[in-house]
Amino acid sequence: MGNPGMASSRLEGLRPAFAVFDVHTHAFPDDVAKRAIPTLQQAALWFPCPATHDGTLAGLLSSMDRAGIRRAIICGVATRPEQTTKITDWSASVASERLVPFASVHPEFPDPEAEIDRIARAGLKGLKFHSYYMECPLDDPRCIRIARAAAAANLAMVFHTGYDLGFEKADVASPERVRRLHEAVPNLRMAAAHLGGWEQWDESRRHVVGLPIYLETSFSLSRCRRDLLLDILANHPPEYLLFGTDAPWTDQKEAVERLAALPVAEDLKHRLWHNAHRFANLPLPGSR
């Protein structure tokens, strides 16, 4: 597939009017992607959710090129404790100028502080936490312990929030739990995926909107009721808004087009690029 850090020549001329940093994508080692993508597609309970790329790094980069996306965070999820170190190692091996992998520490991993220190020393910028796959509520002491260690190591964290398409509804990642986690670890740079609570956006409006928590748009621009979507964007601090897609579970090009069409200030669309770099503790390209 060549060097994933080299921008494809096809990217020029395809970029939207604003620079795009997608803070929520997924990709796997090639052999894992062949198994993971069909399994995850079949797990969707509420409605069909076909993947829009094959789950590989090459597939993600091709999708980014089509959408005019310049950078993306890859969110790893350790569904078992023994996956934790493997995800760290793979993430460190594939990090590049365009791809920013976030590692993942399972709540049953025996020494999360030591692994988070290793993640930081490897130059990675953050972690992903998914309460459904990890069977751990957001305000559980195990999650709080990981969040505190991440904050101490100056790492960011992306949290799945709200319900999940692949599971029966459960109260493990609700907006109220998002708020409790923030109160427990207020110095953590945390992003609440799916606008603070997928399919729980009314609760996000009550419990999360207005707090110094990053909200990202993944899998929400086409699902959240339009008036509520615009209300959330208008009432959350603009410096805490991010663009995300959840690719391959959302088509990145379509998501960028939806963002471009939103009746919000053009300045906000440009600001998302800067917000994402601040969230991930990355310098803006060309600013070094």
**pLDDT-derived band at 285, boundaries 50, 70, 90:** confident
Q: What's the average model confidence in pLDDT over 126-155?
A: 98
pLDDT value at position 14?
Answer: 53
- Which helix (H) or strand (E) segment is 128 a member of? strand 126-129
Handedness of CA 245, 171, 236, 265 (dihedral sign): positive
- Side by side, which strands form the sheet with 21-25? 21-25, 71-75, 99-102
Picking from 167, 92, 81, the residue whose alpha carbon sits closest to that of residue 125 is 92
Per-residue pLDDT tens digits for 169-193: 999 999 999 999 999 999 999 999 9
pLDDT value at position 48?
Answer: 86
pTM of the model: 0.93
- Which helix (H) or strand (E) segment is 61 a member of? helix 57-67
Number of neighbours of residue 17 by Cβ within 10 angstroms: 9
**Alpha carbons 205 and 200: distance in angstroms, whole number:** 9
Per-residue pLDDT tens digits for 195-244: 999 999 999 999 999 999 999 999 999 999 999 999 999 999 999 999 99
Domain segments of the chain as ranges: 17-279
Mean pLDDT of the chain: 94
In percent, the amount of the chain with pLDDT more than 70 equals: 94
pLDDT value at position 286?
Answer: 72
Q: Could you tell me the CA-to-CA distances from 231 to 178, 213, 224, 234 in Å, in that order?
A: 19, 16, 11, 5
156 backbone dihedrals φ, ψ, rounded to 5°? -90, 165
In percent, the amount of the chain with pLDDT more than 90 equals: 91
pLDDT at 288 exceeding the cut of 60 = no
**What are the helix and strand counts (H, E) for the chain?**
11, 8
Q: Which fold has domain 17-279?
A: TIM Barrel (3.20.20)
Cβ 54 vs Cβ 81: under 8 Å: no
